[in-house]
């Protein structure tokens, strides 16, 4: 019988490998034959990066943001930059080739434009350009929103998508500006320096930030210095997964669904994949495990509170989140919560998955 993990993953064939810079490649995938994997600009794939048995390396699950833009690109594309001493990024840069099949989970993540901005400020460093590129191309093609991009790199040779960005600047110069911050010329990006490159915000200006931790701190402070409403500042953090989103079984401890709660459990009405189910939710079990135990196909990736892949909207009741490394204030205020981290703090709750 096909395992639930296999049912969640999709074989993706690499149809092209593009050398973007000396230490970054783009992998272009055909959509699976069983159906397209639709995504929203800013989302990521979770790839099962093969191990190298000869040196005892086990396969590794890793997230890579899609740099392709739906509606513009026919295929899925991720862009991987080598991490010094890292396993998967170097394996992909060294070994990925046309015709290779990699297993992938469906696109996930919440680093997407959802708050109807009338001005976009994008700030990226290094490989952080990948989701930002998808958002940028979508904004230029599908809206009239003015866009400002600040992109930090070590030096000129490490700018990913340099030619494509120059072309976009040329074709959309009336409402798109890109400024390259090169450490070789200006040193490390500072909050004050980045803020000077951001435009005076309107009330509906949104900022999307993606890069290594130090850059994110500087860019977040820069957005505040520039006067951008903190609730409209969205961040994507890059980190390696430590859990195994491919191997988790579902339904193993199946308990009856529907009806009243038992043994002091809360009762939750779950709106998922177009169906409504009533589930008894044990007080000390996170919502995701409760749903998976009952054979419900709830979405997730990291199970660590940092990818947003399990997000749902709380319609009624209260939950306590153990960890939240991804949802921002705006999302929290709108009732968004993480299923992999939520414990019930009410007797009756109602939740809805996107």
Strands 205-211 and 233-237: parallel
246 makes contact with ligand FAD (CB under 6 A): no
Residue 249 token pair: 């079984």
Binding segment for ligand FAD (CB under 6 A), chosen from 77-85, 189-197, 212-220, 342-350, is 77-85
Evaluate whether 143 touches 74 at the Cβ level (below 8 Å). Answer: no
Strands 44-49 and 60-65: antiparallel
Length of the chain, please? 354
From the list ligand FAD, ligand FES, none, partner contacted by residue 148 (C-beta under 5 to 8 A by kind): none
Kind plus residue range of the DSSP H or E element containing 87: none
From the list ligand FES, ligand FAD, none, partner contacted by residue 86 (C-beta under 5 to 8 A by kind): ligand FAD
Among 308, 336, 342, 351, binds ligand FES (CB under 6 A): 308
Among 41, 309, 317, 344, binds ligand FES (CB under 6 A): 309
Q: Decide whether 104 or 290 has the Cβ nearer to ligand FAD.
A: 104
The CA–CA distances, whole Å, from 315 to 99, 271, 334, 335, 351 equal 45, 10, 10, 7, 5
Binding segment for ligand FES (CB under 6 A), chosen from 72-80, 154-162, 222-230, 308-316, is 308-316
- Counting Cα atoms < 13 Å in the Cβ hemisphere of 347 gives 5
Query: Virtual CA dihedral for 171, 220, 125, 184, nearest 10 degrees?
Result: 100
Q: Decide whether 66 or 139 has the Cβ nearer to ligand FAD.
A: 66
From the list ligand FES, ligand FAD, none, partner contacted by residue 87 (C-beta under 5 to 8 A by kind): ligand FAD
The site string for ligand FAD over 40-69 (x = CB under 6 A, - otherwise) reads: ----x---------------x-xxxx----
Q: Where on the chain is the footprint of ligand FES (CB under 6 A)?
A: 300-303, 305-310, 326, 338, 340
């Amino acid at each position: 019988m096909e395992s639930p993990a296999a049912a969640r993953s999709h074989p993706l064939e690499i149809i092209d490998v593009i050398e973007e810079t000396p230490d970054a490649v783009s992998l272009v995938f055909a959509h699976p034959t069983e159906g397209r994997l639709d995504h929203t600009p800013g989302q990521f794939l979770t790839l099962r990066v093969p191990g190298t048995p000869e040196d005892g390396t086990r396969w590794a699950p890793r997230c890579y943001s899609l740099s392709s833009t739906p509606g513009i690109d026919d295929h899925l594309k991720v862009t991987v930059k080598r991490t010094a001493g890292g396993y998967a990024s170097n394996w992909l840069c060294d070994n990925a080739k046309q015709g290779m099949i990699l297993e992938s989970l469906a696109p996930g993540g919440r680093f997407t434009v959802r708050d109807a901005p009338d001005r976009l400020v994008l700030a990226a460093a290094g490989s952080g350009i990948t989701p930002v590129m998808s958002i940028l191309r979508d904004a230029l093609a599908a809206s009239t929103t003015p866009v400002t991009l600040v992109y930090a790199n070590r030096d000129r040779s490490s700018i990913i998508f340099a030619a494509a960005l120059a072309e976009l600047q040329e074709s959309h110069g009336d409402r798109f500006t890109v400024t390259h911050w090169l450490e070789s010329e200006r040193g490390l990006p500072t909050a004050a320096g980045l803020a000077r490159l951001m435009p005076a915000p309107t009330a509906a200006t949104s900022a999307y930030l993606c890069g290594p931790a130090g850059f994110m701190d500087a860019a977040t402070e820069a957005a505040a210095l520039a006067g951008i409403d903190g609730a409209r500042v969205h961040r994507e953090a890059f980190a390696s997964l430590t859990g195994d989103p491919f191997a988790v079984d579902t339904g193993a401890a199946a308990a009856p669904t529907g009806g009243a709660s038992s043994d002091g459990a809360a009762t939750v009405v779950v709106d998922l994949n177009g169906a409504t189910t009533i589930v008894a939710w044990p007080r000390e079990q996170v919502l995701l495990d409760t749903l998976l135990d009952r054979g419900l196909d709830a979405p997730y990736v990291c199970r660590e509170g940092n990818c947003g892949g399990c997000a749902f909207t709380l319609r009624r009741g209260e939950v306590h989140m153990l960890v939240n490394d991804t949802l921002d204030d705006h999302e929290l205020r709108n009732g968004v919560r993480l299923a992999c981290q939520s414990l019930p703090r009410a007797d009756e709750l109602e939740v809805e998955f996107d």
